[in-house]
Amino acid sequence: MQYRFTTRFGGVSQAPYESLNLAFHVGDNPECVKKNRELLQEELGISKLVFMEQVHGDKVVLIQNGHEEPTCDAMITQRSDTALAVMVADCIPILFYDAVHQAIGVAHAGRVGSLLHVGQKCALAMREHFGIKMSELRIFMGPSIHACCYEVGKEAIAGFEKYMHLQDDKYFLDLQSYNVDAFITIGVKPEHIEISQECSCGDENYFSYRRDKVTGRFVGVIAL
């Protein structure tokens, strides 16, 4: 198994998408995005690289041939020739791996997706399709916006009350802890959850929609 979280660097896109933008939908030159995806695929040494059209939902798609281009926010597979990618620019890229059943998954967990439990639904779909045990599942949560920068309005508090930090009469959301607790409730072991401490908004090595508005997308990617 191999996985990684890309940075802004090592691609061919021009500002404001400089340089390893991996998303077609943000206004970048499509040829640059295509080249960037080819560079990533070469680096992975994998024959198929599957991206989603992400819509901030909770749909999980089983990748069966490696040529799918699904509209969803989570994917799972047991294909050894196929890498799964999730695009982000502040949302949490979540990667899943089960060594016993040789299965992988990815999920796109922003505020809306987290509230819909997209990450947990991805894990449960892996159990349904592949027979995995939650106690054996490993989860990797990549660089994303942390509570230090994730200020939200009062309208966004509902459902996240335990995960809000109040500072100077402003609300800051800890989306990482929310997802960790949700995984633990379905049987994932805390020691099997790795959380990146890098904040995409505060660290300019990563694309951040909150920081820059017009910007690219980095990815979390995993392959068997």
**pLDDT number for residue 78:** 97
Question: Which residues are 144's β-sheet partners?
Answer: 199
Q: What is the pLDDT of residue 168?
A: 87
Residues 6+ away with beta carbon under 8 Å from 19: 8, 9, 10, 11, 12, 13, 36
Please report, in angstroms and rounded to a whole number, the separation of the first and last CA atoms in the chain.
4
At 7-32, the pLDDT tens digits run 999 999 999 999 999 999 999 999 99
CATH number at residue 31: 3.60.140.10
Q: Is the pLDDT of residue 157 over 90?
A: no
Q: Report pTM.
A: 0.95
Task: Summarize pLDDT for 75-113 with one digit per residue, the tens.
Answer: 999 999 999 999 999 999 999 999 999 999 999 999 999
User: Domain span at residue 206?
Assistant: 2-223
74 and 61 Cβ atoms separated by less than 8 Å = yes
Domain count across the chain: 1
What mean pLDDT value characterizes the chain? 96
Q: Is 102 left (phi over 0), alpha (psi -120 to 50) or beta?
A: left
